[in-house]
């Protein structure tokens, strides 16, 4: 059986992931951080737009800590 790999599709996915997210607010950053904390996702696997500004990054980590705490309590 012959297998082929879709490099074009992979490059499309990668380029879409590196586009900046539009209108990222501190509330959205906190929610994304909370989701990541509850799912056990590491910060390095999250979208770079949440870390573009210091205010957004601090809100993301605030949500991340809250999400991790909720996951540990369950």
For the stretch 2-51, pLDDT in tens is 667 666 666 666 666 677 777 889 999 999 999 999 998 888 888 888 88
pTM above threshold 0.75? no
For the stretch 46-66, pLDDT in tens is 888 888 899 989 999 999 999
CA–CA separation, 49 vs 4, rounded Å? 33
The predicted structure's pLDDT at residue 44: 85
Mean pLDDT computed over 67-74: 86
Pick the closest to residue 47 from 14, 28, 10, 21 (CA basis).
21
Contacts of 67 (CB under 8 A, 6+ apart): 33, 34, 35, 36, 37, 38, 39
Q: What is the DSSP letter of 3?
A: -
The predicted structure's pLDDT at residue 63: 94
């Amino acid at each position: 059986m012959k297998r082929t790999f879709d490099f074009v599709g992979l490059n499309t996915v990668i380029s879409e992931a590196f586009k900046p997210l539009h209108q990222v607010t501190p509330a959205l950053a906190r929610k994304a951080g909370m989701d990541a904390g509850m799912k056990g996702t590491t910060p390095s696997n999250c979208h770079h737009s949440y870390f573009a500004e210091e205010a957004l990054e601090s809100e993301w980590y605030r949500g991340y800590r809250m999400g991790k705490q909720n996951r540990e309590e369950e």
